[in-house]
Homo-oligomer: A and B are copies of this chain.
Amino acid sequence: MIKLSEYSTEPDKDLSKEEAEELRLKELERIEELQIRLFAGKKKSLLIVLQGVDASGKDGTVKKLFSALNPLGCTCKAWKAPTQEELSHDFLWRIHKELPGKGWIQIFNRSHYEDILVPFVYESLSKDRLKDRLEFIDSFEEFVSEENHTHILKFFLHISQEEQIKRIEERLSNPEKNWKFDPSDLEAHKNFKKYQNAYEWIFSHSKESFPWVIVPSDKKWYRDYLIAKSVRKELEDMDLKYPKLEVQPAQI
């Protein structure tokens, strides 16, 4: 079993904030180039999944990442509680619709993993049913990867309980952050340990096909740097090429 307590939430001590910021900007520059190739080639796609407890920095990560991405080929979907219509279907019904088409990057702020996390924490489904769900998710992810060449990057924004308290308090005290506060934050905070357990269970039982990246996220600058680096690496691995011109320029 993976134990999150064994994973640091703090940055690598050998890297300063200034250095990380410089490196991050370089990563973003490269991501910008690679995204154009992805979009032009229309052969593959990238799904970025962001998960983490409340106040772990999902919104902030999206904002920072988007600064390098052309919205022409990139969208973000923030998942909320399902609607009545969504509830009348299986939990992957609404997810499948929002997967990226060829050439696109899609960012999921929360995801289909909420459909394991929430019933895990509130014990509304048996462990057997949760195991089934996880297997279906594994098979679903393998399917879109094989059939549509969708690469999947899954980030867990790992923060300490102390950091979570600090951020929730800031949402309460800072008028510019008040809007981010939701009474459910307190409920989520109360369940911090249960959510950690749920994540540990998911990480330990998922197939290795698309491993989770556990991102030390107490410091935003370190989190943003690490995620930019992973995204750049994944795009690099996709071996993206511009399509060949099908006409002879000289003939035009």
Q: Which residues of A contact B (CB under 8 A)?
A: 42, 85, 88-93, 96-97, 99, 101-104, 132-133, 136, 139-140, 143-144, 146-148, 150
Contacts and interface: CB of A to CB of B under 8 A. Distances in A.
A91 B101 CA distance: 11
Name which of A91, A92, A143 has the most chain B CB atoms within 10 A of its CB.
A143
8 tightest CB-CB pairs across the interface, nearest first? A88-B101, A90-B147, A90-B148, A96-B96, A88-B102, A136-B143, A139-B139, A90-B144
Contacts of A140: 143
A98 to B, nearest CB: 10
17 contacts: A42-B88, A85-B101, A88-B103, A89-B102, A90-B99, A90-B144, A90-B148, A90-B150, A92-B143, A92-B147, A93-B99, A96-B97, A97-B97, A133-B147, A136-B139, A136-B146, A139-B143
B96 A92 contact: yes
Contacts of A103: 88
Nearest to A136: B143
A93 B97 contact: yes
Nearest to A133: B147
A102 to B, nearest CB: 4
Nearest to A150: B90
Name which of A85, A90, A104 has the most chain B CB atoms within 10 A of its CB.
A90
Given A92-B147, A93-B99, 15 more contacts: A88-B103, A88-B104, A89-B99, A90-B99, A90-B148, A90-B150, A91-B147, A92-B143, A93-B96, A93-B97, A96-B96, A97-B97, A133-B147, A136-B143, A136-B146
